[in-house]
Amino acid sequence: MTRKLSKYITEAMFIYSQTAIAKHLKNEFVSIPQFQTAATFCQKVIDPVGDYYAPKKYNMSSGLRGKDLNKSVGGDPKSDHCISNIAIGGAAADGNITGVDPKKFFNDIFSGRIKQPNGKPLRDIIDQCIYEERHTFRGVERWVHLGYRTIPRKQFMYSLDGSTYHNATKELV
């Protein structure tokens, strides 16, 4: 039986990785504080997103990345996907909402339309919200990266090539 991190996210969803499976890489929580940090992220960030879009579903494409998995996908060694710096409370996930354009998803957070349970905009506690787009042999892949830290940097960015990042100063069109 898989543990729940939050109302919408289970441990199995958070650690699932097609790349880890294909490359036979271990990808699991290595400590209770790491699991608890992921749970806090899901409860504070993913649950308000799930509530806002209900009954549409949040689809996580990348949550936890163990060290070997992160290296194999070319991730930053200090990525909050790794949940390696418990002191900053950092955790991250990439995903989309079923049937919702990823730019709209980004814009709904950026503009403050998605709220925390206390009624304040979710954007107030976001460390990073990044609209990402990558052109591959399968076509254009698009998703939104969400990051949380106990002291958020409040970075809103976009990338149209998967490697160059720009600060977002207004909603994306």
What are the tokens at 84?
């390696």
pLDDT surpassing 80 at residue 32 = yes
State residue 163's pLDDT score: 87
Which pTM was predicted?
A: 0.95
Tens digits of per-residue pLDDT, 127-153?
A: 999 999 999 888 999 999 999 999 999
Asked whether the predicted pLDDT for residue 162 surpasses 90, the reply is no
pLDDT at residue 33 in the model: 96
Per-residue pLDDT at 31 exceeds 90: yes
Mean pLDDT, all residues of the chain: 95
What string of DSSP letters covers 46-86?
A: IHHHHHHHTTS-EEEEE----HHHHHHTT--TT-GGG---G
**pLDDT higher at 23 or 162:** 23
Full set of structural domains in the chain with CATH = 11-167 (3.30.1380.10)
- Has residue 1 got a pLDDT over 80? no
Strands 155-159, 166-167: pairing is antiparallel
Overall average pLDDT of the 118-132 stretch = 98
